[in-house]
């Protein structure tokens, strides 16, 4: 049972990092797109056909989409969830330290573990896999080759998608030929 606490603790750390990543980049992307939308609006005043006859429609679509995305991001509450996940993994770490090595949890510790599990949303499977790969020398649950490949693919995909979201508007402008 002590291992369960440790694995949950490590996975919740990764969940916290994932939620912080989502919080940071969702906020930065919202600001980035808002700036670009504002620039488009200002440029469209001077050059109403900068993107052709439908420049005004494009600017309106961008504004409405930005509003929808900002509402969706704020409802996801990445920051609040990351804070809660951090509190949870700190509580799990405290519980883990209170259990002597090679001992099982007492009934009070088991109750505390269950309470901590209920206090927070669950981490995702990818969080567990990343935690096990990062601690592969310290864990009794060694990741499989498939899990290692999945983690590498997931992390690379997250990075590529994030970079793509930052670069997409600039690429659009460059391709459009302005």
User: What global pTM score does this model have?
Assistant: 0.85
Report the candidate in 66, 6, 58 with the shortest Cα–Cα distance to residue 31: 66
pLDDT by position in tens, the chain (length 178)? 778 888 899 999 999 999 999 999 999 999 999 998 888 888 888 888 877 888 888 888 888 999 999 999 999 999 999 999 999 999 999 999 998 887 788 899 999 999 999 999 999 999 999 999 988 666 677 888 999 999 999 999 999 999 999 999 888 878 865 5
Give me the helix-helix angle, 125-134 and 2-46, nearest 10°.
110
> Looking up tokens 């770490």, which residue turns up?
93
Query: What number of CA atoms fall less than 13 Å from residue 144's CA on the CB side?
Result: 3
The encoded tokens of residue 80 equal 């609040």
CA separation, residue 86 to residues 10, 81, 90, 119, 153 (Å):
11, 9, 6, 11, 25
Q: Could you tell me which residues are beta bridge partners of residue 50?
A: 52
Q: How far is CA 144 from the centre of its chain?
A: 24
Tell me if 40 sits within 8 A of 63, measured CB to CB: no
DSSP symbol at 124:
P
Cα separation of the two ends of the chain: 62
């Amino acid at each position: 049972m002590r291992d369960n606490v440790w694995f949950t603790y490590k996975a919740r750390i990764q969940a916290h990092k994932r939620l912080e990543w989502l919080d940071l980049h969702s906020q930065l992307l919202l600001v980035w797109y808002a700036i670009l939308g504002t620039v488009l609006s200002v440029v469209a005043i001077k050059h109403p056909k900068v993107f052709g006859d439908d420049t005004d429609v494009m600017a309106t679509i961008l504004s409405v989409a930005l509003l929808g995305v900002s509402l969706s991001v704020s409802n996801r509450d990445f920051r609040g969830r990351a804070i809660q996940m951090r509190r949870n993994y700190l509580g799990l770490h405290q519980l883990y330290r209170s259990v002597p090595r090679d001992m099982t949890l007492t009934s009070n510790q088991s109750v505390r573990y269950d309470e901590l599990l209920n206090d927070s949303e669950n981490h995702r499977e990818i969080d567990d896999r990343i935690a096990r790969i990062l601690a592969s020398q310290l864990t009794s649950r060694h990741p499989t080759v498939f899990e290692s490949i999945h983690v590498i693919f997931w992390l690379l995909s997250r990075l590529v998608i994030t970079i793509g979201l930052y670069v997409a508007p600039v690429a659009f402008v460059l391709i459009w030929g302005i």
